[in-house]
Every structure is written in C-alpha cells, then in structure tokens.
Structure 1
Amino acid sequence: MDILVLIGRILFAALFLASAANHLAQRKAMAGYAAAKGVPAAGAAMAAGTLVLLLGGLSVLLGIWADLGALLLAVFLVPTTVLMHAFWKEDDPGARQQEMIHFQKDLALAGASLMLFALISYAGHELGLTLTGPLFAIR
C-alpha cells in the first residue's frame, strides 16, 4: 500500500506544483485575472496563494508533514473555488459552463485534499515512504 500512496501523492502534488510555477511565471496576469474576478488585494492574495500551493504541494510530495500540506491545499481550494469560479454570476452559457466545470473540479480536489489529510493523519507513521510522520493524529 505504501507505494500506491506514494504514487498518488506524486500525481496529486504535481498538479499543485505546476500551478504554483504558473502563478510565479504569470504573476501580473494572474493578479489581474483575480482582480477582475473581484478578489480583494489581488496581488497579495496571489502571492499568498502561490506560497500555499508551493508549500502544500511540496509537503505532500516529499512526505514532510504531508497531512498539513493536504490541509493547506484544502484551505486554499475552498475560497479560491468560490471566488474564482462563481459560475452563477455568468450570463453567457459557454462561460457559465466553463466556470461550472472548474468549480466542480476544484471542489473535488478540495474533497480529495481532505481525504488525504484524514488518511495521513489516521495512518500516522505506519503509512511509510514519507520523510516525517504526520503533524496531526486522528483516532
């Protein structure tokens, strides 16, 4: 089971680390997009979001307090999903559909992050193939 969880962690973290790299490479454009979506203090929010993506993704990937990393990703995803993909505000049917797809995808990723948090917190040191054990202990 350890190897399957490791492969899952790698695949899961890759999405968030690639997103963090994109946020860094496209800082101005991403901040402008967030501002257009009504995100307050868009530049600061983008910087904080990028840091959370990077820390959470690396934590899950490397298995350094991977439960905390998964929790950070969930905390990032929930408000981001609501603020950035508010499909109910779209008038154009095509745009509404695209935002709904992104909303549902990000909500599912938040759910997966919470499940990963619970798995790692519950399994503890028995999980294996991590650099540290979990920070939290759910029993």
Structure 2
Amino acid sequence: MDVILLIGRILFAALFLGSALGHLTKSKEMGGYAASRGVPFAVPATFASGVLILLGGLSVLLGLWGDLGSILLVVFLVPTAVLMHGFWKETDPMSRQMEMISFNKDMALAGAALAFYWVFAHDPGLTLTKALF
C-alpha cells in the first residue's frame, strides 16, 4: 500500500508543482486575470500563491511535514475556488458551466488534500518526517 500512496502523492503533487511554475514565472499575466476577477493586489497575490502551492506540493510529494503541506494546499484551493471561479456571478450559460467545473475541481482537490492530511497525521507511510500536527 505504501507504493500506491506514493504514486498518489506524485500524481497529486505534479498538478501543483506545474501550476506553481506558472504562478511564479508568469505572475504578471496571471495576475491580470486575477485582477479581472476582483482579487486585490493580484500580481503579488499570484506570486504568493505560487510560493504557497510550490511549498505545499513539494511537502506532499517528499513527505516533509506532509500534513502541513496538505493544509497549505487547502489554504490555496478554497479561496481560489470562491474568488476565481464564482459561477454564481456568471450570466452566460457556457461561462457559468466552465466556472462551475473549475469551482468543483478546486473543492474536490481541497477534499483530497484533507484526505492526505489525515494520512500524514495518522499513517505517514513513505515520509521523511513525522507529522507536524
């Protein structure tokens, strides 16, 4: 089962590591989109969220305080779902559907991050450190 957990961590973390790269290297462009969605201090917020998901993704991947990394990802995902994917604000049916899909994806990923939190806190498996919490 440890190998399956490791494969799951790799697949899960890969999404965030790739996204972090975009947030950190294209902060201005991504910040412009975030500003259009009403995010205050959009460019610095984009860069900061890149750091957050880089740290969270690496933590989950490597098993270095994976419980903390999981919580960092939840801290990113839930506000992102609400601020960036407010499907309830959309009037165009296609836009509403796309934002609802993105909202649900972020919330499902937050649920997965919470499940990883539990795993790291109760059954660390293939980790380099014990749980922080």
TM-score (norm 2): 0.96
1:24 aligned partner: 24
Gaps of 5+ in 2: none
For 1:94 and 1:29, locate their aligned partners in 2 and report how far apart those are by CA, in whole Å: 24
Amino acid across the alignment from 1:97: Q
Identity of paired residues, percent? 62
**Residue aligned with 1:91, SS:** coil
2:132 aligned partner: 135
Deviation string, structure 1 residues 84-114 (Cα, Å, up to 9, x no partner): 0000111111111000000000000001101
Q: Answer yes or no: is the 8 Å Cα contact 2:24–2:51 preserved in 1.
A: no
Offset at 1:24?
2.0
Gaps of 5+ in 1: none
1:77 aligned partner: 77
Q: Answer yes or no: is the 8 Å Cα contact 2:9–2:61 preserved in 1.
A: yes
**Residue aligned with 1:135, SS:** coil
Deviation string, structure 1 residues 39-86 (Cα, Å, up to 9, x no partner): 011112111101101000000111100111011101110011100000
Offset at 1:123?
1.4
Aligned-pair Cα RMSD in Å? 0.9
For 1:25 and 1:51, locate their aligned partners in 2 and report how far apart those are by CA, in whole Å: 11
For 1:38 and 1:60, locate their aligned partners in 2 and report how far apart those are by CA, in whole Å: 30
Offset at 1:118?
1.1
Offset at 1:25?
2.6
2:86 aligned partner: 86
For 2:78 and 2:63, locate their aligned partners in 1 and report how far apart those are by CA, in whole Å: 23
Offset at 1:132?
1.2
Amino acid across the alignment from 2:57: G
TM-score (norm 1): 0.92
2:4 aligned partner: 4
1:68 aligned partner: 68
